[in-house]
Amino acid sequence: MNEIHTISLVDLVQKMRDKEISSVELMKEVLDRVDETHDDLNAVVAIRDRDALMADAAAADEHIAKGDARPLEGIPLGVKDLEHAEGLVTSMGSKPFADDVATKDSDQVAKFKEAGAIVLGKTNAPEFGYTAITKNLVYGVTRSPWNLEASPGGSSGGSSAAIAGCVLPLATGSDGGGSVRIPASFTGTFGLKPSFGRISNGPRPRWSYNDTVCNGPITKTVDDAALFMDQVVGPSPYDPNTLPHPGYSYVDKVNTRLEGKLKIGYSPDLGYAVVQSDIAASVENGVKEFEKLGHSVTHVKGGPPLNAGGWGRMGAFEIRGGIGHMLPALEGEFGRSFINGINNAESLTAEWWGEYATDRLKLNDWCADVFNEYDVLVTPTIPFDPPNAKGPFPLEIEGKKQCDVGVAAFTIPFNLSWHPAATVRAGISEAGLPIGLQIVGPRHRDDLVLQVAKAFENERPWHPEWPTTWTK
């Protein structure tokens, strides 16, 4: 395999600047890799016209030759199939939307194109991003390059499989309850859920009251994620929740070593999670790297109050509000578990809303206390190994009943609280699958989370160990 598939995004950009590889050569290589891996991984599920892609690549080479290359000039980009890219179908992984061609780019995709990236196609996602297993009735099942029997997670599973399997150098993801961090952890990639509003979610078809979804990177390295962030952060008139530009470069931040001694809080279970023993041991061992670097680590007792059922019902309620006009005429076209889930949201009441809002404020207060005491919080990312590619998730772990939130036990709280949270590869489980360690920071301190992640990566480098070949 050509090394351009396995090197980091940052190194690939540099090789193109140094004219060691052209954009045309890169595009040919990536298209060949998509074709080669499609039957096994099913990560990239739609591709733009290939002649148009090659023409865009040739134009990128002209920019580079003239010395006016943009930061991502000529880099092929995969767009998660819950996000619009003009001229491509946004199926949402749902049969009723299988022919829904986008007429406009999302804000994020538009910024990537302004930075020189070339939209290659779409990466697979579960129907409306509703589960953490990537399969749907439009494109089928996506599989992990680490083990084709295993799921790469979801809902950004197509993107995570494409990055870990060295199929694409760049892909988008989004995280409403763990949908960047879960697949990143399952595939051993780096994943960041930024602070809410850091990257635009616009334009949207309607005003959103389910304020937990963040766009964020799934990449080979922390440096790659910083480069990703630098292209897409900042305000948008199409998303009223977007934050101002932070006023600095994330690339500069991750290349600046942490100063001083950090106070790190460590929770192995957030007070309620049941964690697979080898995963717990690996994360515990990983936390020791921070102590070796001179930072203090303190066990955090207990955990946040978490109304995960409320989180799920709110998401279902909003989706139901968007597609309710299509029901019951097209109800049979949607996945059964998906439609059952969103139909349950019809039972929401004002009293239920009041309880949910109260619980969410209690979660916020718990986070406030934690980050008044500690600079960052560290936890496992996922409590168990990836499930089968078709599911289901386990109800028990080593004979102990799994908690209600299951796979998202460690991720959902920080979507509800809007704190930035990242996952780094901490090790490999006894089953030979990646283990993630989660780093959570104060609101709007995405830079600190990236710096801490980079410090860990320096001590425990996982790149370039990627599953580039596999047996069926």
Contact predicate 205/110, CB 8 Å: no
Distance of alpha carbon 385 from alpha carbon 92, whole angstroms: 26
Q: What is the 3-state secondary structure (H, E, C) of 383-424?
A: CCCCCECCCCCCCEECCEECCCCHHHCCCHHHHHCCCCEEEE
The DSSP bridge pattern shows strands 214-219 and 172-175 to be antiparallel
The yes-or-no answer on residue 160 being catalytic is no
Contact predicate 210/410, CB 8 Å: no
Distance of alpha carbon 145 from alpha carbon 352, whole angstroms: 42
Beta strands in 325-394 (DSSP E): 376-380
Active-site option among 8, 22, 23, 80: 80
Q: For residue 312, which amino acid is it?
A: G
Does the bond joining 203 to the residue before it have cis omega, within 30 degrees of 0? yes
Please name the helix (run of DSSP H) or strand (run of DSSP E) that holds residue 15, with its range, or none.
helix 9-17
3 state SS of 136: strand
Q: Sign of the CA dihedral 443, 447, 451, 457?
A: positive
The yes-or-no answer on residue 80 being catalytic is yes
Q: How many CA atoms lie within 13 A of 104 on its CB side?
A: 7
10 CB contacts (<8 Å, ≥6 apart)?
A: 221, 223, 224, 227
Please name the helix (run of DSSP H) or strand (run of DSSP E) that holds residue 175, with its range, or none.
strand 172-175
The DSSP bridge pattern shows strands 376-380 and 296-299 to be unpaired
CB burial class (10 A; 0-12, 13-18, 19+) of residue 130? Answer: buried
Distance of alpha carbon 63 from alpha carbon 24, whole angstroms: 12
Distance of alpha carbon 105 from alpha carbon 278, whole angstroms: 43
Does the bond joining 155 to the residue before it have cis omega, within 30 degrees of 0? yes
Active-site option among 22, 91, 155, 200: 155
Active-site option among 8, 179, 282, 417: 179
Question: What residues act catalytically?
Answer: 80, 155, 179
